[in-house]
Amino acid sequence: MRIELKNLIGLDGNGPTFAQTYGITFDQGVEWAEQGLEMARDGRVDEARVILEGLVTLNPRSAGYWFALGTVYEKQELIDDAVQAYTQATSRDGRNIEAWMRLGLLKLKRGDGAGLEALRAVVKDTRAENAELVARAKSILATSRAA
Amino acid sequence: MAFVKGINPPLSSFTADLSNLDPNKVPKPPGLQGNQSGAFIGPGGARAAGSATVSFNSATEAGHGKPTVEQQNTAIRAGNAPIEASIAELETKQKHLQKLFSHELAKGDGVLTKGELQRLATESTDPAQKEAALWLLSRPDIYASLPKKGTTMGGDGAVLGMFGTGVDVYASSNFVADLTSQIASQKKMLKPLIDVPAPNVPAPGAGSTPPVATTNGTPTPATDSTAATGTPKNFSSGVAGLGEAIDGINGEISALIEDTKKNPANANANQAKISQLSNQMTTLSALMNQIFTMQSNLSKMLSEMAMTAVRNMR
């Protein structure tokens, strides 16, 4: 069944994504995302941005794409855009601890106290694999309290 | 991608050590080293532009694969909603007008003046009739749209005033019948919802696929059907879908332009949608071009490797 485009996500917030409607698979999306991130690491940030912006258009529900796009924006020093991308990532997946961390740090860098809230979200994480990140967030929060 | 810039009041008293703000200095969580934490990273763990790790897990990354029945039904409901609203409006109109035109005041000369309507609204002992009269009095737009006595549809040449000063409603059973036909036609436009499939009960003796254990013993969450069946990893296997999406958006923009020509009242709403769709189309076209470039570069690289290998054979 072809779903009418006007009902797609992005126009009314509901309904299937472009990726779902046009059969672009999870594996394919991740493959492109990985290529984009490799490009960014090689310094080809503009090309990476094209790929990741395309991916969030195809599937705006993916926290991973938003986070990856945020890191590319950071490379380009588009801090406001990076904050928006990380905010999207955390709203799609509240357990995306890396996105919370980046969001918190960027907000603090801009002098926005809401960054502390984001770091508090990090320290709530109890997964063992995130212990180092949690410790770092705790350290920054402790410093801010001392100040 | 343009974002609306937020307002961020400065936190002048904040003095925390932010020396590690460089994204390249973001430590990689120990559990994510070497993609060993399959349950978290999933099949698509990747290093981000800095050194943070991006997690792509089909179980947690919604929005790929076949739309769920619920999502499809959401889209269908969204499409049906304006039609259902229109049907409800027509049915209300039909019900009330039928009630009014069946009244003896209307039966007498096929006409209900505004005064007669007001009389019905205040004096009728039939609650439905009273409600109908009140409804019509509260809807001057509908009253004004009804065939009037003395018009070509009314046909008896009576002198007319304006609504509120004595315009007559021409009681026409044909008009109500026309509403019935409009309702039937609108109902045909409704799309049926998709039935939720019955739970998949395995046949006797049929085994289910157990979750795959990861290195840390945590079972990998079930993946969606698309990820499970898998697609050969290459740059271009999804390009057809991407092209189809771009064509689809283009078609929708054309439809909106046509709609604006037919219904100028929709111009502003349509323009907003066209603008959003144009941005999405531009973004996806750029992605497609980038994928073609990557594919071309990969082909060149493979050719060069092959040539080098052949040279080395000498």
- What local confidence, expressed as pLDDT, does residue A146 receive? 73
- Does the distance separating the beta carbons of B56 and A62 come in below 8 Å? yes
Q: Which residues of B282-291 are buried (b: 16+ CB within 10 A; e: fewer)?
A: ebbbbbbebb
Domain boundary among B123, B154, B189: B189
Classify residue B299: in a domain, yes or no.
yes
- Does the distance separating the beta carbons of B78 and A20 come in below 8 Å? no
- What local confidence, expressed as pLDDT, does residue B114 receive? 74
3-state SS assignment for residue B219: strand
- Of all residues in chain A, the one with the smallest CA distance to B44 is A30
Place of tokens 């009902």: A7
For residues A70 and A111, state if they share a domain. Answer: no
- What local confidence, expressed as pLDDT, does residue B100 receive? 78
- What local confidence, expressed as pLDDT, does residue A33 receive? 92
- What local confidence, expressed as pLDDT, does residue B148 receive? 60
- What local confidence, expressed as pLDDT, does residue A131 receive? 94
Q: Which residues of B162-190 are buried (b: 16+ CB within 10 A; e: fewer)?
A: eeeeebbbbbbeebbeebeeebeebeeee
- What local confidence, expressed as pLDDT, does residue A55 receive? 93
Residue B103 domain boundaries: 69-189
B1 touches chain A (CB under 8 A): yes
Residue among B79, B91, B94, B85 at smallest CA distance from B190: B79
- What local confidence, expressed as pLDDT, does residue B80 receive? 79
- Does the distance separating the beta carbons of B61 and A26 come in below 8 Å? yes
For residues A117 and A60, state if they share a domain. Answer: no
For residues A47 and A73, state if they share a domain. Answer: yes
- What local confidence, expressed as pLDDT, does residue B230 receive? 36
Provide the number of structural domains found in chain A. Answer: 2
Angle CA B99–B100–B105, to nearest 5: 130
Share the mean pLDDT of chain B.
66
| pLDDT tier, A4 (very low <50, low <70, confident <90, very high otherwise) | low
B255-313 pLDDT per residue, tens: 889 888 888 888 888 898 888 888 888 989 999 888 888 878 777 787 888 888 887 87
- Does the distance separating the beta carbons of A62 and B238 come in below 8 Å? no
- Does the distance separating the beta carbons of A4 and B63 come in below 8 Å? no
Q: Which residues of B touch A83 (CB under 8 A)?
A: 6
Residue A41 domain boundaries: 1-93
Classify residue B195: in a domain, yes or no.
no
For residues A81 and A114, state if they share a domain. Answer: no
- Of all residues in chain B, the one with the smallest CA distance to A34 is B46
- Does the distance separating the beta carbons of A11 and B284 come in below 8 Å? no
Q: Which residues of B touch A79 (CB under 8 A)?
A: none
Please give, rounded to a whole number of angstroms, the shortest distance from the CA of A108 to a CA of chain B: 8
Among A130-139, B52-61, B143-152, the range scoring the smallest mean pLDDT is: B143-152
- What local confidence, expressed as pLDDT, does residue A119 receive? 96
Looking at residues A25-52, what average pLDDT do you find?
Answer: 92
Between B234 and B223, where is the model more confident? B234
- What local confidence, expressed as pLDDT, does residue A83 receive? 95
- What local confidence, expressed as pLDDT, does residue A37 receive? 92
Tell me which range, B16-20, B101-105, B300-304, is most confidently predicted by mean pLDDT: B300-304
- What local confidence, expressed as pLDDT, does residue B179 receive? 81
Q: Which residues of B touch A93 (CB under 8 A)?
A: 60
B282 touches chain A (CB under 8 A): no
CA A133/CA A140 separation, integer angstroms = 11
Q: Which residues of B touch A71 (CB under 8 A)?
A: 23, 48-50, 52, 54
Provide the number of structural domains found in chain B. Answer: 2
Q: Which residues of B touch A110 (CB under 8 A)?
A: 8
Helix residue ranges, H only, chain B: 38-41, 69-101, 104-109, 114-123, 127-138, 140-145, 173-189, 225-229, 239-262, 267-313
